[in-house]
Amino acid sequence: MAPVPSVPRQRLADRVRELAKFGSVGAVAYVVDLGLFNLLSFGPGELLGHKPLTAKVVSVAVATLVAWLGNRHWTFAARRTATRGRELAAFVVVNVGGMLVAVACLAFSTYVLGLTSPLAKNVSANVVGLALGTAFRYVAYRRLVFTGTPPRYETGPAPDADADDGTDDAQSLSRTDRSPV
């Protein structure tokens, strides 16, 4: 019988895995955003070459859906709720908040610090703003979006999965899929 890891060690390992998944989903969404924007703006036929803002809105919208699906079904799968519409709406609101963090960093460096070079703008918006916005998103996703019951940590061996504990599986699922009000 293998030794059972301590609860704090297990929580830390779970958090590290969750952060890695979160980063992976974010990287995929970033590639979708960047790739779709460039495809719409500069690709064959330059579909939206004359409308860069529209191309960016479309690429961000698609990337947001990709990120929501990845986070819902992979990163926070154990914490998702049955209310997909509420989750998606909260996800969009949180992403707007993350965007505002990056814009605030850009505004601060440009208008308060007077840093107006292309390098300064990119560092403030796409390095500092992206890092702070990503941290904001991660915390907000855990606390506001994916609010289902997180996994419980046991200090003893896991119960036998085949044992019947007398609870109805449908009732168990509905209890874990409810979000707190």
At residue 51, the pLDDT reads 84
Alpha-carbon distance of 177 to 179, in angstroms, equals 6
- Is residue 70 within 8 A of residue 35, CB to CB? The reply is no
At residue 46, the pLDDT reads 83
pLDDT, one tens digit for every residue, the chain (181 residues)? 666 668 889 989 999 999 999 999 999 999 999 899 889 988 888 888 888 888 888 988 999 999 999 999 999 998 888 889 998 999 999 999 988 898 898 889 989 999 988 888 888 888 898 899 999 999 999 999 998 877 665 554 544 444 444 444 444 444 344 444 3
- 102 to 60, 93, 99, 106, 141: CA distances (angstroms): 14, 15, 5, 6, 17
At residue 43, the pLDDT reads 87
What is this structure's pTM?
0.69
At residue 82, the pLDDT reads 86
3-state secondary structure 101-170: HHHHHHHHHHHHCCCCCHHHHHHHHHHHHHHHHHHHHHHHHHHHHCCCCCCCCCCCCCCCCCCCCCCCHH
At residue 162, the pLDDT reads 46
At residue 175, the pLDDT reads 39
